[in-house]
Amino acid sequence: MTFGKLVFLTTCGAPASYQQQQHAAAQDIRRPDVRNLVADMAARDRRRTLPELHHFSRQLGVPA
């Protein structure tokens, strides 16, 4: 499961189709709260044990 899908599932609650998840995840990652959450999580992972998280933060353009 990608981080975007995780964000979608935790914010919406009910399962949706894959296309709905992708569309909602694309909208959610532009929200400042999601960007702040990713930046905070990446900053806490100083040993880079979650490479997908750091890749996602680079894609969003948030500082790690």
Query: Against a cut of 0.85, is the pTM above it?
Result: no
The pLDDT of residue 62? 86
The structure tokens listed for 44 are: 């806490």
CB 28 within 8 A of CB 59: no
The pLDDT of residue 52? 93
Give DSSP secondary structure letters for 9-44.
HHHH-S---HHHHHHHHHHHTTSHHHHHHHHHHHHH
What angle do helix axes 3-12 and 32-44 make, rounded to 10 degrees? 130
CB 41 within 8 A of CB 53: yes
> pLDDT 10s digit of each residue in the chain, 64 long?
556 555 554 555 555 576 666 666 666 666 778 888 989 999 999 999 999 999 989 988 887 6
